[in-house]
Amino acid sequence: MIPRTLFSPEHELFRESVRTFLEKDAAPFHAQWEKQGHIDRSLWSKAGEAGMLCSHLPEEYGGLDADFLYSAVVIEEISRLGLTGIGFSLHSDIVAPYLLHYGSEALKHHYLPKLISGEMVTAIAMTEPGAGSDLQGVKTTAVLDGDEYVINGSKTFITNGYLADLVIVVAKTDPKAGAKGISLFLVEADTPGFAKGKRLEKVGMKAQDTSELFFQDVRVPRENLLGQAGMGFAYLMQELPQERLTVAIGALSSAEAALQWTLGYTRERKAFGKAIADFQNTRFKLAEMATEIQIGRVFVDQCMALHLDGKLDVPTAAMAKYWATDLQCKVLDECVQLHGGYGFMWEYPIARAWADARVQRIYAGTNEIMKEIIARAL
C-alpha cells in the first residue's frame, strides 16, 4: 500500500484524540440517535471543548488557526466509524468559512466564538422544494425595508436544520437578475417568523437532523447580509470546492472502513467448509476494491494538498466528489453482497453505511452536475 505522507505527527496526535473522543462520546449512542432522528445537543459542546469544531478559524476569534488537514482528520474519523449523524463538517468547513470570508468584523466577533465552542449549531439553507442543484432557481426572497431585510420562502433537506441556532439563508434580493440577484443572510433560529418543520425521515443518515425551514416575514438587520447584495451566487461558487472536497474525503474513509469490516467478516464466516475469504471470487472482489480505494486515496490526498496551497479548482473538486462517491457506493454494494443476508441487517455497520452512502451522489451538487462542470472545463 502507498503510505500517506500528507499528515504530520501533530495531525496524527490530533487524530488519536478525535478517535478517542468519538469512540467514547458518540459511537455508543449513535444507534439511539438514529431512532430519535438527531444527535444529542450536548455533543456539540463537548466537541467544542475538545477542539474539534472550526479549528481553522483565526486565534482572534478563539480558533486554533489550524490548517485544513485538522478538519480532514475529523471528517475521516467520523466516516470511519460510520457516525453519519454528526454534522460537524458542515458547521466547521462549510458554514463557518462563509462567515469568516464575507461577514463584517462585528458579525465575526459576535458569532465565530460561539461556533468554535459549540454554543451555536449552524446550517446553510440552499435547497428548496423546487430548486436543488440549480441554485439560480431559488424562490426565497429578501426585500430591503428601511434598515431590515424581510425574508419569505421555504427550504428543505437542510442538514443540522432541526438543531440549528444560526442559519445562512440563500435568498433572492433581485428576482429578475438571475444568479446576480442572489444574496446570503444570517438568521438566528429564534427570529420571529422563522419556523422549523418536521425532521425528515430519510432512507439513510437517520441520526442526522435534516429538516424543512420556513420564513414568513422574517426581519433581519441589514448588517446580517454577508458581503454584498447580489454577490451570493459568486460566494457560493467560491466556497463549493472545499464543500465537495469534504464529501470526497468522507466517501473514501467510509469505503476504507467498509473494506476492513468485510475483510474481517469474510475471514470468519464459513461456507461449504471453508472461509468466505478463501473463495477466488471473494479474493478477487476484495483485491479490486482495495486497488480502487488506493487509487481514490492517492487522488483525494492530492486534492487536499492542492487545497492547502489554494490551488484546488472547481473542476478538480467536482472530479473528486463525483468519483469518490460513486466509488463509495460501488464498494459498499459489493461489501453488502459479501456479507450475504447479514449485510442487509441494520445491526451490522455495513448495512447502515450502505444506506447512508447513497445520498452522497446527490448532495453538494448531484454527480450529474459534477460531470457537467468537468465537461465545461475540458
127/108 Cα distance (integer angstroms): 25
306/250 Cα distance (integer angstroms): 17
- Among residues 239, 243, 256, 334, the one annotated as catalytic is 243
- The residue behind cell 478538480 is 316
- Specify whether the CB–CB gap between 71 and 246 falls below 8 A: yes
Long-range contacts of range 198-204, CB-CB < 8 Å, 24 or more positions apart?
A: 199/37, 199/38, 199/162, 200/156, 200/157, 201/37, 202/359, 203/355, 203/358, 203/359, 204/84, 204/352, 204/354, 204/355, 204/356, 204/357, 204/358, 204/359
- The residue behind cell 448531484 is 366
Question: DSSP alpha helices (H): ranges in the chain?
Answer: 9-25, 30-36, 42-49, 68-80, 88-89, 96-102, 105-117, 232-268, 280-308, 314-339, 349-357, 367-377
243 labelled catalytic: yes
Q: What is the DSSP letter of 95?
A: I
- The residue behind cell 425521515 is 201
Q: Which residues are catalytic?
A: 243
